[in-house]
A and B are shown apart, each in its own frame.
Chain A
Amino acid sequence: MAAYIVRRILYVIPILFGITVITFILFNMLMGDPATRFAGKHATKEQVEVVRAELGLDKPLPIQYINYVKQIATFDYGRSWSTKQKVSTMVADGFGPTLCVTVVPFVASIIFCVGLALIAAYYRGTIFDKGIVITCLGLMSISSVVYVVVLPNWLAFQAGLFPISGWDPSWTDRWQYLILPWIILFVLSLGPTILFYRSVIMDEAFQDYVRTARAKGVSSQGVFLRHILKNAMIPIITMVVIEIPFLITGSVLIENFFGIPGIGGLVFKALNESDFPVIKATTVMMSIAYMVFNLISDVLYSVVDPRIKLS
């Protein structure tokens, strides 16, 4: 077991190398000359050269790459070009608001969707099941922009239940701004999540071991909870863990619409203003988070599925 995990972690090294090389090429070569951008449109040649030296872009590429890796390792990306704040502080400040928005609907959606998918699969083929499938497809066929526009219009603007947008640093006043984004993220996740869980559960429901359980005399609820769900949890857990990095990035659309000072909003602003250090920091952070949670999901998979050989 331990050996397996160590081996899986060792695999991470070439992947990390790949991530750094690709993003390095992306930022330093493909996106145009950073020095020119930083110096601005009206800068003279000399001014650009000064900036180039300041940013260390006059050094040979291997040295630049090593510096870049150092930045990643220490999470020190220098200062933002537009706000002049430390990038690490800006990103760290963004985590809190983003997680406030994403975690609650994420957890609620898992519980609700697994439950509903289980009931739909239990009553498979009935009107109830078909109704759920059709509703999910309907929900999915509507663009997310529609939810972001329509739900606040109904619930905040017309019904006046919540403030339309805003943010408050204090916890006691913050929640009123959170409920609407929570509802939207929750509703957005319903369609795809229920359909995915339902299909995973249905796949298991037709396995031979289910027939065996019924032959034993296990009640139909018992078959679902003890046999089918237990096996279906393997792909479900994998899916859930892989989605965790997206909790950190947050939703660019939602954060902008509601004025939430999280990572999503940060990325949006940085892209608008060509704020290189911030884009670099968030991109690299995302890639690494994605890789790490993939690793966790793999390890978890081998823990819950006895068929995976751990030697």
Chain B
Amino acid sequence: MDQMTTTTTKTATGESKFEPQPAKTDSFIQITDLTKQFPIKGGLLSRTVANVNAVQGVSLDIKKGETLGLVGESGCGKSTLGRCIIRLIEPTSGKIVIDGDDVTHKKGEELRALRRKMQIIFQDPYASLNPRMTVGSIISEPLEIHNLFDSKKDRLDRTKQLIELVGLRPEHINRYPHEFSGGQRQRIGIARALAVDPSFIVCDEPVSALDVSIQAQVINLLMDLQQRLGLTYLFIAHDLKVVEHISNRVAVMYLGKVVEIAEAEELYRHPSHPYTRALMSAIPVPDPRKRDQRIILTGDVPSPINPPSGCHFHPRCPDMIEECKTTCPSLRETRPAHRTACIRA
């Protein structure tokens, strides 16, 4: 509990000026020093020969009713972080507190109960739906598992209501996932996540696999649902453009670490980390004169098995100085309510 109050005060910042859900100041989810390593097994005896450091000591606060955007290149650990938070995978170390309840070590029945509070929408709307289940059974399965309704009829009614909520038609209930388009499938995924009436949803690149024309529809649906149901989102994307519209705050991740976090407007106006600036310049701008300012990232993304010394970003950083090779920067307030992990910011 002590932990909670300290972390809350640290990041309690002003209200959002954005249209999506004005975020309340109280912290809903606190993640402290979360680390996830995937062991790489090798040899006859399957010993651990190395570790993939997918998430390396991330601390984050998510406020009730807000959308926290999480951005970073593919492979930087966004999905792993999101799945750890909802305990779909075991974090290696760290602490996850939801609504004052430490859920880090929940198991069995308690963990299953947690699934009612926290849900996830997956990136791939094709592979993430069981091909042999009808839309109706995909959506109603959580209702059965968690004994949410007594009678079959109530469950059916709720399923139909969910189908309509995400903009599909009730007669779709007996169809199979393959009969739908990508956007419709993602709506099925959303209805399935909503079935248990969760308060927090990890949206793991929910539109990355969709056509650009469909992306906006799905994002609008998610924003609309957030408003209606008072949901809190962790919205993952690999480019800043997608999260700009939906997020109250944005965190930028690089190689397992959060390198910058601020209110969305603040971050887009004053990107402080060289990596954020590089991501920002990758967004196509309508004004051709501004294109000259593009920062092109050089070099490959380093491996999370053997991350670079000091600041992980230094081998690719245009502003790198000698000290960056040895000093591991931590997040600090570089502007009001704006934290950056860069010694030069």
**Which A residues lie at the B interface, using CB under 8 A?**
125, 207-209, 211-219, 222, 227, 230-231, 234, 304-307
Whether the pair B130, A231 counts as a contact (CB closer than 8 A) is yes
Tell me how far the C-beta of A220 lies from the nearest C-beta in chain B, rounded to whole angstroms. 10
Mark the stretch among B50-58, B91-99, B112-120, B290-298 that contacts chain A. B112-120
Whether the pair B127, A218 counts as a contact (CB closer than 8 A) is no
B158-199, CB under 8 A of A: which get 1 and which 0? 000000000000000000101000000000010011011000
Q: Which residue of A lies closest to B116 (CB)?
A: A217
Interface set, chain B 134-157, CB cutoff 8 A to A: 141-142, 145-146
Whether the pair A208, B128 counts as a contact (CB closer than 8 A) is yes
Q: Which residue of B lies closest to A212 (CB)?
A: B128
Smallest CB-CB A-B distances: 9 pairs: A217-B115, A208-B127, A209-B130, A306-B176, A208-B128, A216-B142, A217-B112, A307-B178, A212-B128
Confirm or deny: B317 has a beta carbon within 8 angstroms of a beta carbon on chain A. no
Q: For the complex, give the distance between the alpha carbons of A215 and B131 in Å.
A: 17
Tell me how far the C-beta of A240 lies from the nearest C-beta in chain B, rounded to whole angstroms. 18
Whether the pair A214, B141 counts as a contact (CB closer than 8 A) is no
Whether the pair A209, B112 counts as a contact (CB closer than 8 A) is no
Whether the pair B130, A227 counts as a contact (CB closer than 8 A) is yes
Tell me how far the C-beta of B118 lies from the nearest C-beta in chain A, rounded to whole angstroms. 9
**A214 cross-chain contacts in B, Cβ below 8 A:** 88
Whether the pair B132, A217 counts as a contact (CB closer than 8 A) is no
Q: For the complex, give the distance between the alpha carbons of A222 and B112 in Å.
A: 12
Q: For the complex, give the distance between the alpha carbons of A274 and B215 in Å.
A: 72
**B196 cross-chain contacts in A, Cβ below 8 A:** 216-217
Interface set, chain B 74-114, CB cutoff 8 A to A: 86, 88, 112-113
Whether the pair B122, A212 counts as a contact (CB closer than 8 A) is yes
Tell me how far the C-beta of A222 lies from the nearest C-beta in chain B, rounded to whole angstroms. 7
Q: For the complex, give the distance between the alpha carbons of A304 and B88 in Å.
A: 30
Whether the pair A211, B112 counts as a contact (CB closer than 8 A) is no
**Cβ-neighbour of B146 out of A208, A217, A304 (below 8 A):** A217
Q: For the complex, give the distance between the alpha carbons of A82 and B134 in Å.
A: 60
Whether the pair A209, B131 counts as a contact (CB closer than 8 A) is yes
Whether the pair B145, A306 counts as a contact (CB closer than 8 A) is no
Tell me how far the C-beta of B85 lies from the nearest C-beta in chain A, rounded to whole angstroms. 12
Whether the pair A216, B127 counts as a contact (CB closer than 8 A) is no
**B141 cross-chain contacts in A, Cβ below 8 A:** 213, 216, 218
Total count of chain B residues near the partner, CB < 8 A: 28
Q: For the complex, give the distance between the alpha carbons of A214 and B86 in Å.
A: 11
Whether the pair B130, A125 counts as a contact (CB closer than 8 A) is no
Q: For the complex, give the distance between the alpha carbons of A217 and B192 in Å.
A: 12
Tell me how far the C-beta of A294 lies from the nearest C-beta in chain B, rounded to whole angstroms. 23
Q: For the complex, give the distance between the alpha carbons of A267 and B112 in Å.
A: 59
Tell me how far the C-beta of A261 lies from the nearest C-beta in chain B, rounded to whole angstroms. 44
**Which B residues lie at the A interface, using CB under 8 A?**
46, 86, 88, 112-113, 115-116, 119-120, 122, 124, 127-132, 141-142, 145-146, 176, 178, 189, 192-193, 195-196
**Cβ-neighbour of A306 out of B46, B120, B146, B178 (below 8 A):** B178
**A219 cross-chain contacts in B, Cβ below 8 A:** 112, 145
Known: A217-B112, A217-B145, A222-B145. A212 touches B130 (CB 8 A): yes
**B113 cross-chain contacts in A, Cβ below 8 A:** 217
Whether the pair B131, A211 counts as a contact (CB closer than 8 A) is no
Whether the pair A230, B132 counts as a contact (CB closer than 8 A) is yes
Q: For the complex, give the distance between the alpha carbons of A222 and B141 in Å.
A: 11
User: Which of A212, A222, A234, A306 has its CB near the most chain B CB atoms (within 10 A)?
Assistant: A212
Q: For the complex, give the distance between the alpha carbons of A306 and B193 in Å.
A: 23
Q: For the complex, give the distance between the alpha carbons of A84 and B130 in Å.
A: 59
**B145 cross-chain contacts in A, Cβ below 8 A:** 216-219, 222
Q: For the complex, give the distance between the alpha carbons of A237 and B69 in Å.
A: 45
Whether the pair B115, A216 counts as a contact (CB closer than 8 A) is yes
Q: Which residue of A lies closest to B189 (CB)?
A: A212
**B120 cross-chain contacts in A, Cβ below 8 A:** 215
Whether the pair A211, B88 counts as a contact (CB closer than 8 A) is yes
Q: For the complex, give the distance between the alpha carbons of A125 and B116 in Å.
A: 30
Whether the pair B86, A307 counts as a contact (CB closer than 8 A) is no
**A212 cross-chain contacts in B, Cβ below 8 A:** 122, 128-130, 189, 192
Tell me how far the C-beta of B166 lies from the nearest C-beta in chain A, rounded to whole angstroms. 16
Whether the pair A209, B129 counts as a contact (CB closer than 8 A) is yes
Whether the pair B142, A208 counts as a contact (CB closer than 8 A) is no
Q: For the complex, give the distance between the alpha carbons of A4 and B130 in Å.
A: 25
**A207 cross-chain contacts in B, Cβ below 8 A:** 127
Q: Which residue of B lies closest to A210 (CB)?
A: B130
Tell me how far the C-beta of A86 lies from the nearest C-beta in chain B, rounded to whole angstroms. 49
**A306 cross-chain contacts in B, Cβ below 8 A:** 131-132, 176, 178
**A234 cross-chain contacts in B, Cβ below 8 A:** 132
Whether the pair A208, B124 counts as a contact (CB closer than 8 A) is yes
**A215 cross-chain contacts in B, Cβ below 8 A:** 86, 88, 115, 119-120, 193
Knowing that A125-B46, A227-B130, A304-B132 touch, tell me 5 more A-B residue pairs with CB under 8 angstroms: A209-B130, A211-B128, A217-B115, A222-B145, A307-B178
Q: For the complex, give the distance between the alpha carbons of A217 and B142 in Å.
A: 7
Q: For the complex, give the distance between the alpha carbons of A207 and B128 in Å.
A: 8
Q: For the complex, give the distance between the alpha carbons of A295 and B115 in Å.
A: 44
Q: For the complex, give the distance between the alpha carbons of A271 and B338 in Å.
A: 87
Q: For the complex, give the distance between the alpha carbons of A231 and B127 in Å.
A: 13
Q: For the complex, give the distance between the alpha carbons of A217 and B86 in Å.
A: 11
Tell me how far the C-beta of B148 lies from the nearest C-beta in chain A, rounded to whole angstroms. 11
User: Which of A207, A215, A218, A304 has its CB near the most chain B CB atoms (within 10 A)?
Assistant: A215
Q: For the complex, give the distance between the alpha carbons of A41 and B129 in Å.
A: 70
**B130 cross-chain contacts in A, Cβ below 8 A:** 209, 212-213, 227, 231
